[in-house]
Amino acid sequence: MKQEKRAACVIGWPAGHSRSPLIHNYWIKQYGLNAEYRREEVTAEKFAGFVAKLRDNGYVGANVTLPHKEAALALSRPDDRAEAVGAANTLWFEGNTLHSTNTDVEGFLANLDAEVPGWDRGLETAVVLGAGGAARAVVYALLQRDVERIHLVNRSFERAKTFRKRFGPRVQPARWNEMTGLLGGARLVVNATTLGMTGGHDLDINLRCDAAAIVTDLVYDPIETTLIKTARARGLRTADGIGMLLHQAVRGFELWFGVRPDVTAELRALVEADLRK
């Protein structure tokens, strides 16, 4: 008997920039599933109503992007990750209950595991730049891997201080002008700001790290950011933002369609080609 078609979507306002349809429809084809992944442009005012009718509209779940990630958390039963991060980006049904998680946590860790195996072994000090939603996912992920000390550097110091309240004493808030001093002792440097994105300001940073340091950038457009380029030129090990983007999609696909997909070189090339357009 032919299985009923399953559908998932990305909900955002706007949603046109999202690469999720490209990624999920690639996997749907690769695994030969009777399924479809769509794009849904929904305003903040209409979001709660859309989610209430998600199943009636034929969806087994969804990704959620800006500006709906906090609202998605409030409208669902979050797991520990979404709760800790304070934002949900993936929704799915179990029975009649709508559950949520934050797959940026898993995507960040899986990308580093794939690109720099053993990166977290004995990792004492990380420097995280940024204090937005992505930085919250990164800090939670690093704490899960028992990183002893996280210097959270942000332009707005007040925002950096909220991280200590949320995540505890292993997180040490720091001012933007303290960054260079902190980099010398860092074994992992993470850019979780929007700096370095195509069309925006670049990240101006003096990468005076130890030779064993690892550098990762969440920004994926451009494909190779100035930070990643500089780190590679200095011989440091790196993991880039596209890798995280692909790995964060794995869990949603598994939850909706029952297959845990692989992040392949072919998929990466497809997304890179789309970004170059």
Kindly list the residues in this chain that would bind ligand NAP in the complex (CB under 6 A): 104, 107, 130-135, 154-156, 159, 192-195, 197, 201, 218-220, 241, 244-245, 248
Taking the complex as a whole, the smallest distance from the CB of residue 46 to ligand NAP amounts, in Å, to 22
| Marked catalytic residue, from 29, 69, 165, 277 | 69
Does residue 29 have an active-site annotation?
A: no
Task: Decide: 214 and 237 in contact? Cβ < 8 Å.
Answer: yes
The answer to whether the bond into 117 is cis (omega within 30° of 0) is no
Q: Nearest to ligand NAP by Cβ — which residue?
A: 132
Considering beta carbons, is residue 53 or 201 the nearer one to ligand NAP?
201
Tell me how far, at minimum, the Cβ of 87 lies from ligand NAP, in Å. 9
Residue whose CB is less far from ligand NAP, 160 or 209: 160
Nearer to ligand NAP by Cβ, of 33 and 197: the residue is: 197
**Sequence-distant (≥ 6) Cβ neighbours of residue 148 within 8 angstroms:** 123, 124, 125, 170
Pairing type for strands 59-64 and 90-94 reads antiparallel
Nearer to ligand NAP, 76 or 102 (CB): 102
Q: For residues 10 and 40, give the distance between their C-alpha atoms in angstroms, rounded to a whole number.
A: 6
User: Cβ of residue 271: shortest distance to ligand NAP, in angstroms?
Assistant: 11
- Residue 7: strand pairing partners: 36, 59
- How far apart, in Å, are the Cα atoms of 54 and each of 60, 61, 64, 117? 8, 7, 12, 39
Q: Which is nearer to ligand NAP, 55 or 201 (CB)?
A: 201
Residue 156 neighbours by CB distance under 10 Å: 11
Distance in angstroms (rounded) separating the CA atoms of residues 193 and 195: 5
Environment class of residue 186 by beta-carbon count within 10 Å: exposed (0-12), middle (13-18) or buried (19+)? Answer: buried
132 DSSP 8-state letter = S
Active-site residues, by number, are: 69
